[in-house]
Structure 1
């Protein structure tokens, strides 16, 4: 079997070129070893050399992957707007977002991955142009497995990863609220989602998580799909629960995206989440999109593609002419890349500003990742219009049902998911805004002179443990009774938030445990998670 490096190096080569690296020399060497069928060790060496490249000095984009750096490069924006919707009206809009997403996903699902010309040729052959309803089924052209998402065959929203991810995000938010971390989101994946139903970047990240490469390393290790669309399709739930608060929606989306993506892959999720947050407070589609752009770096490739698309839409009322310009400039990206698909989303929003059906139809007929883009446009327009405003010919056939592969959430009522989301949103809106958070989370709060470094009596509910952390944040944890010492790793401190990992020996097999909590003076308070289980953990400093 070929090594991972052998399997992935072609995609990584294209990724590095798109990130602004000069790949001319290494490209010729990679092509040569691919032709010769070299040993795996050769591919590993070349892969490491490839990922070590830096962008050329005249690369015109600034594309960081850390939240503070992203925020430093974003344009001016409202950050938080006044939400005037009452609870009943907010419920209607959240329901519209869930329902609109399901409709758009169902519309695009039968032709996922098809190019535009193939979609239009097929629709013409089955006399479905102009497209005014779901895509008809023809045996031998559309897979039998997709028949349940075709016209006259729909009884529910069929299982799709585009609908699994909002449920996974909802679970994390129900469990942790605004405090959920990338590690907690990773644990939700591992506990609730089957590996074989994840694709590209998510599949790679899951593999990395299983091999104890935790965020953010899970996003980068042997992951050439790290700017593809996978994070963007996970954004919606974070916009649903932050109506009128695009900065918070983008922040939550960042935490989720950093599990599997970097740069424009992260920005895609932040953009969509912020756009959805804005859709609850303004009906102006240009303003909605601009607010989304205000949460990502102004000089990144994604922002450029969306700005180009907006300009082209303003110059023409022919969506196919706009599509051609998008394809001319951004068609070199893979069909499931973030950037080209986000441009189709922006176009769909512009042409669907006053017409939900027009929005999802234009988007799906554009081709590429049609279930993803149709779902995103349907979601944003659904949040803008509300459930009762969506055409019943699109919504009624779903019968308020959504099937999912998420454990314990296989057969869902869309209305029930919307109600659960509403409850999270109500709690989220009472979370202090960023100014108040900064006041609370000084790097070392009063009474905590040295932060995490020191010696701690660490209580896990089993055995006696001593946690020892040095100033460089290396350290170990010892089970006192048995003199068993394990190193701590993945140590991260953000204000008074602390995360780290360590192992516990169980019969010669090391179980990985993650701590996520806060420092309050000389006390640690938080939770540990391992293998889908969570338990409380506390610590008391015994020595500085």
Structure 2
């Protein structure tokens, strides 16, 4: 399948939102007019029709097959182009410096992007101009909207700004990295999807009855289904329209960290993780990112890591086409990159695995090995830019090592990260976390 074969059904986000708002107002109006019982009946009919529509869409997409985009691992492997598969047979001497670069790089990129996540380019640019800051940013933001508002359960929005951090601020994209670590520590490389689900149920906090906190989109849907008694694989797919969204590859970093220079194995582990609640290009995105991060420990150019990442996914899938397109259309800055990308991929969701991966690749290409330029240009493209900033920072950091990351990005964390997982301390020591990754990598690389 190629992009030219994708034909989007025209629809209006505005119209859908306005009609939903109309339903809400009519419900209140029916009560005020003394006919709340009848209004409630109409609303129940509306809910049933909506759920029927969702079920029809789910059946439609899950029934579709494409020879270029299989879902099982063995078929995926058969469609890969030639690749190195494994670059290193043992832990490299500079592994710890590169790991610290990747981990701190991920934390920094996530924190920078989270402050204005999903804000349009013009909004971010106007925000920077109002407070006399650089755009694309060259340091953490100094101001944020609603600074006293909560941020991921245990934090505040203010924690994301320069001068107000005492650790890596809490975020789902840093928590996913830890969940990967916890899964690998308990179950090793042979973990099953059921093992992973148990880790998620054990550590992710709940809000009320069977409502998961600290994760969103397809991850929250899966957790809610699991907590309500559904089993895998149904729990990962039921009422989940996020099968090709970005979240799958935001969970991929741990697998690259523990398989340095072994992109094939990193991609296999990411497949097991991501395919629990993603399909097709959502899964390929996770495999690509895990392989690219793994390769970044063994190369000296971020773009070489990207090209190696492509060798672990189907050669003719839509995701691979998007990355090849990005490689064939180099840009000078974030504005050119975003404009070119949306001119081609304009029908896609702003949280798509593909569009956001293109942001990462273009950001790495624009930034070269300059860490500040890489994450600044990447998050300036908008989209799900705490995720894109985190992954661009992870890949760049693994290539250049922590010693090459300017201290303004790492010193504010004071060597620790703020988390919200059940049964764990509120803060984790970053060096201790890196030590735990090192122990796993040393063990796994013996195979």
Measure, in 2, the Cα distance between the counterparts of 1:21 and 1:322. Answer: 23
1:80 to 79, 82, 86: 86
Aligned to 1:148: 159
Measure, in 1, the Cα distance between the counterparts of 2:182 and 2:147. Answer: 37
Instruction: Report if aligned partners of 2:69, 2:317 keep a CA contact under 8 Å in 1.
Output: yes
Cα RMSD over matched residues? Answer: 2.9
Kindly state the Cα deviation for residue 139 of structure 1 after the two structures are TM-superposed. 5.6
TM-score where L is the length of structure 2: 0.84
Aligned to 1:259: 276
- Per the alignment, in what secondary structure is the counterpart of residue 231 of structure 1? helix
Aligned to 2:36: none
Aligned to 2:99: 94
1:426 maps to 2:442: yes
Kindly state the Cα deviation for residue 348 of structure 1 after the two structures are TM-superposed. 1.1
1:237 maps to 2:254: yes
Kindly state the Cα deviation for residue 122 of structure 1 after the two structures are TM-superposed. 0.8
Structure with more of its chain in helix, by fraction: 2
Where do residues 348-427 of structure 1 align in structure 2 (5 Å cutoff)? 348-407=363-422, 408-427=424-443
Aligned to 2:58: 51
- Per the alignment, in what secondary structure is the counterpart of residue 157 of structure 1? coil
- Per the alignment, in what secondary structure is the counterpart of residue 53 of structure 1? helix
2:213 to 187, 190, 196: 196
Cα–Cα, structure 1 residues 386 and 60, in superposed 2: closer, same or farther, change >3 Å?
same
Q: Structure 1: which 5+ runs fail to align?
A: 1-16, 25-29, 432-544
Q: Which has the higher contact order (CA 8 A, sep 6+)?
A: 2
1:108 to 106, 109, 113: 113
Aligned to 1:273: 290
Measure, in 1, the Cα distance between the counterparts of 2:145 and 2:405. Answer: 30
Measure, in 1, the Cα distance between the counterparts of 2:99 and 2:337. Answer: 30
The worse-fitting range, judged by mean Cα deviation, of 154-163 and 142-151 is 142-151
Kindly state the Cα deviation for residue 20 of structure 1 after the two structures are TM-superposed. 5.7
Kindly state the Cα deviation for residue 52 of structure 1 after the two structures are TM-superposed. 2.8
Where do residues 140-179 of structure 1 align in structure 2 (5 Å cutoff)? 145-179=156-190
Kindly state the Cα deviation for residue 326 of structure 1 after the two structures are TM-superposed. 0.8
Where do residues 245-324 of structure 1 align in structure 2 (5 Å cutoff)? 245-313=262-330, 316-324=331-339
TM-score where L is the length of structure 1: 0.70
Measure, in 2, the Cα distance between the counterparts of 1:140 and 1:22. Answer: 36
Measure, in 2, the Cα distance between the counterparts of 1:348 and 1:389. Answer: 18
Aligned to 1:186: 197
- Per the alignment, in what secondary structure is the counterpart of residue 129 of structure 1? coil
The worse-fitting range, judged by mean Cα deviation, of 178-187 and 125-134 is 125-134
Kindly state the Cα deviation for residue 254 of structure 1 after the two structures are TM-superposed. 0.7
Kindly state the Cα deviation for residue 157 of structure 1 after the two structures are TM-superposed. 0.5
The worse-fitting range, judged by mean Cα deviation, of 175-184 and 208-217 is 208-217
Cα–Cα, structure 1 residues 222 and 140, in superposed 2: closer, same or farther, change >3 Å?
closer
- Per the alignment, in what secondary structure is the counterpart of residue 197 of structure 1? coil
Measure, in 2, the Cα distance between the counterparts of 1:60 and 1:186. Answer: 28
Kindly state the Cα deviation for residue 60 of structure 1 after the two structures are TM-superposed. 8.4
Measure, in 2, the Cα distance between the counterparts of 1:393 and 1:108. Answer: 16
Aligned to 2:349: 334
Measure, in 2, the Cα distance between the counterparts of 1:410 and 1:309. Answer: 40
Kindly state the Cα deviation for residue 352 of structure 1 after the two structures are TM-superposed. 2.1
Structure with more of its chain in strand, by fraction: 1
